[in-house]
Amino acid sequence: MSKRFYVTTAIDYVNGEPHLGHAYEKIIADVIARARRSLGQEAFYLTGLDEHGQKVQQAAVAEGKAPQAYCDELAVVWQACAAKLGLSIDDFVRTTQPRHKAVVAAMLRKLHSQGDLYKAPYRGWYSWKEETFLTEKDRRPDGTFDPAWGEVKELVEENWYFRMAKHQSWLIEHIEANPTFVQPDSRRNEVLGFLKSQTLEDLCISRPKARLSWGIPLPFDPDYVNYVWFDALTNYYSIPAALGDSEAAAPLEGFFDSTFHAPRSALRLWPADVHVIGKDIVKFHAVYWPIMLKAAGIPLPKQVLVHGWWQKDGQKMSKTTGNVVNPIEVIDEWGLDAFRFYVLRELDIGPDGNWTDAGFKARYQAELANGLGNLVNRSLSMLKRYRNGVVPPPHSELANDAGKVLADTRVALENSELQGALLNIWSLVTRANQYVDHTAPFKLAKDPAQAKRLDEVLYNLAETCRVLAVLLWPFLPSTATKIFTQLGLSGLPDKFAAAAWGGLPAGHKIGEPAPLFPRKDISTRISRIRFARQCY
Ligand code: MSP
């Protein structure tokens, strides 16, 4: 089996609740995975949950539950959310799974045996909320720490450290030699700036069990558990190794214990092609993670793709202010594809975005209901009305427009430029809607002498709808499928190659047209949706 295109997301902290930011990231990765599959590559999409650490332990204790039981309950909520988002995931990792823990332990054993880890005392200011020691740089001018760090206390403890010094220069070289390793460029520059201006301090990779027991024990020192970030980052690699990617597991051969059982498999996933993450965790992914891998003799991932953060109404989303966008509620009210469309169309991968309900509704109305929805509905309704739903002989008046959009969309998808791809696809929606207005098939239908011209126009419109279904598949899989069904086509529009012009054969009978995006009174809720008559 050849190597699959392997895309991952950050694994979410199990003790939070899924919100717009988590959903956005998972949808980005889903579109990337679906696009690759559509383009003919095998792809593997991994997401999951980060379940160890102080916060989870504290939250479980607060609810009077054992941490594992607490995680098991919440994992159901997160997995349901992944299903609700229509994610085409191939696996769902939970860091409490034995398959993951066994690989983390093997990594630790190897690094320890090579002398990459050492034990030393440390005195410092510790943020309990963020589970991290703070440095003098974190102090405010008045000497206090920002309340965002939560309770900060001085702590002295012995811990295990990962030697970083020897890794700084090769990492700089690697990032410079591989411009796509960290994307977009603004994030790449940020990482390079950091690496060139500061000496990397050794990374503390343990927590004393006396303070935190909810973690993976260090295999060489039973008084400690592994730092949650070392554990969490390893998920990207542990799952391929555990699923039987033997090339992935090879560098750790001899360091697994008897709890590790990978099936014999021809699966090839590692190295990851894209790690999709948010801007707050770039340092972990673009600095610590490559260093961990390099030290363990494991090949590096090809790309860390960094998206920006969503705000709501210009403010940080926060439970206390009550301005959190709940993806489930939006999907229940507006439909999954409307949600997927909005987040991908509104925000390019990189900058920060701002969710407003008004902005969401405006795009829904203009681009989905009046744009794509109206095009498909009026094209198919006219074909039904004027030709009894039978496709006329092929004609290629819009073939060049569609061909250009197809070529540009392919390039955009290959570069994970998802907003760019959507803009491009919508240029075809707009072109076809204008074509209806210019050719006025409803007038042609009144003149028997224009029957051939009407055939041509109807073919171009129906075929454009078919092409759009294929192009839209990675973004709006359910809408794309509905368009195919309404066209009377069997199977899924999931092969990019099928977008080539001329796929609709003459004489083919289409199905029943129906509105794709119900028009809504912008001010009303879904209970009062109006299925407006589509206008020709
Ligand atoms: N558990 C760590 C990641 C470990 S990956 C080895 C973590 N979890 S998180 O739940 O806090 O965040 C998960 C992802 O959601 C991160 O990539 C983060 O950037 C993203 N987002 C969290 N809030 C966000 C927004 N408001 N907007 C966009 N993405 C945001 O970090």
Counting atoms of ligand 1 from 1, which one is nearest the CA of 310? 27
On average, the pLDDT of the chain sits at 95
Position 22 pLDDT exceeds 60: yes
Q: Does residue 418 contact residue 412 with C-beta atoms inside 8 Å?
A: yes
Token pair recorded at residue 27: 């949808």
Task: Assign 3-state DSSP to the chain and report helix, strand, coil percentages, each to 5.
Answer: 50, 15, 35
To test the ligand 1 pocket, which listed residue (12, 227, 285, 324) has its Cβ within 8 A of the most ligand atoms? 12
Could you read off the pLDDT of 307-349 as tens digits, one per residue?
999 999 999 998 778 899 999 999 999 999 999 999 999 999 9
pLDDT average, residue stretch 375-379:
98
- 370, with CB counted inside 10 A (0-12, 13-18, 19+), is middle
The pTM (predicted TM-score) of the whole model is 0.94
The closest-lying atom of ligand 1 relative to the alpha carbon of residue 308 is 28
- Alpha carbon nearest to ligand 1 atom 15, residue: 22
Q: Give the single-character DSSP code of 155.
A: E
Split at pLDDT 50, 70, 90, the class of 471 is: very high
At residue 506, the 3 state secondary structure works out as coil
Residue 129: its pLDDT value, please? 80
527 pLDDT tier (thresholds 50, 70, 90): very low
Query: Which of 50-59, 367-376, 442-451, 526-535 is least confident?
Result: 526-535
Question: Residue range 92-121: average pLDDT?
Answer: 98
Per-residue model confidence (pLDDT) at position 291: 98
Please indicate whether residue 303 or residue 124 has the higher confidence score (pLDDT).
303
Q: Which of 233, 281, 285, 348 to mutate to test the pocket of ligand 1 (most atoms within 8 A of CB)?
A: 281
Q: Is 51 in the pocket of ligand 1 (CB under 6 A)?
A: no
Using the mean position of ligand 1's atoms as its centre, give its distance from the Cα of residue 196 in Å.
Answer: 26
- Is the pLDDT at 203 greater than 60? The verdict is yes
10 lines ligand 1 (CB under 6 A): yes
Least confident of 116-125, 403-412, 506-515: 116-125
| Residue 313 CA, ligand 1 centroid: distance in Å | 20
Taking the centre of ligand 1 as the mean of its atom positions, its distance from the CA of residue 459, in whole angstroms, is 46
Q: Does the C-beta of 11 come closer than 6 Å to ligand 1?
A: yes
Q: Are 86 and 477 in contact (CB under 8 A)?
A: yes
pLDDT score recorded for residue 94 = 98
Percent share of the chain, pLDDT over 70: 97
Q: In what order do the strands lie in the sheet with 315-316?
A: 315-316, 310-312, 353-355
What is the per-residue pLDDT for 128?
A: 81
Tokens (6 digits) for 220 = 């060489």
Q: Which of 91-105, 179-193, 197-211, 379-393 has the lowest mean pLDDT?
A: 197-211
Q: Print burial letters for 331-354: b (CB count within 10 Å at least 16), e (below 16).
A: beebbbbbbbbbbbbbbbbbeebe
The reported pLDDT for the residue numbered 274 is 98
Q: Comparing 109-123, 131-145, 231-245, 306-320, which segment has the lowest mean pLDDT? A: 131-145
Q: What is the pLDDT of residue 522?
A: 58
Q: Tell me, using a 6 A CB cutoff, whether residue 13 lines ligand 1.
A: yes
Would you say residue 533 has pLDDT above 70? no
Nearest Cα residue to atom 19 of ligand 1: 278
Q: What is the pLDDT of residue 318?
A: 84
The closest residue, in CA terms, to atom 12 on ligand 1 is 12
Q: From ligand 1's centre to the CA of 12, what distance in Å?
A: 6
Residue 103 CA to residue 109 CA, distance in Å, equals 10
* Order of strands across the sheet that contains 221-226: 206-208, 221-226, 217-218
Q: Give residue 523's pLDDT.
A: 55
CA 78 to centroid of ligand 1, rounded, Å: 14
Q: Is the CB of 352 under 6 A from ligand 1?
A: no
User: ω into residue 515 within 30 of 0, thus cis?
Assistant: no
Please name the residue whose Cα sits nearest to atom 21 of ligand 1.
21
CA 457 to centroid of ligand 1, rounded, Å: 48
Assigned token pair, 53: 């650490």
For residue 325, the CA-to-ligand 1 centroid distance in Å is 15
- Terminal C-alpha separation, the chain: 51
What residue has token string 């403010």?
315
Ligand 1 nearest atom to the CA of residue 277, by list position: 17
Measured distance CA(496)–CA(32) in Å, rounded: 13
Residue-level pLDDT at 133: 80
Nearest Cα residue to atom 29 of ligand 1 = 21
Residue 535 scores a pLDDT above 50: no
In the predicted model, what is the mean pLDDT of residues 395-407?
98
Q: Does residue 451 have a pLDDT over 60?
A: yes
The pLDDT of residue 321 is: 81
Query: Exposure of 66 by Cβ count < 10 A (0-12 exposed, 13-18 middle, 19+ buried)?
Result: exposed
Confirm or reject: Cβ of 27 under 6 Å from ligand 1.
no
| Cβ contact 95:103 at 8 Å | no
Q: List strand residue ranges (DSSP E) for 170-301, in order.
A: 182-183, 203-204, 206-208, 217-218, 221-226, 274-278
CB proximity list for 299: less than 8 A, separation 6 or greater? 270, 271, 293
Nearest residue (CA) to ligand 1, atom 30:
21
Q: Is residue 499 within 8 Å of residue 463, measured between CB atoms?
A: no
Residue 50 Cβ < 6 Å to ligand 1? yes
Asked if residue 24 has its Cβ within 6 Å of ligand 1, the reply is yes
Mean pLDDT of 178-183: 98
Question: CA-to-CA distance for 402 and 398, rounded, in angstroms?
Answer: 6
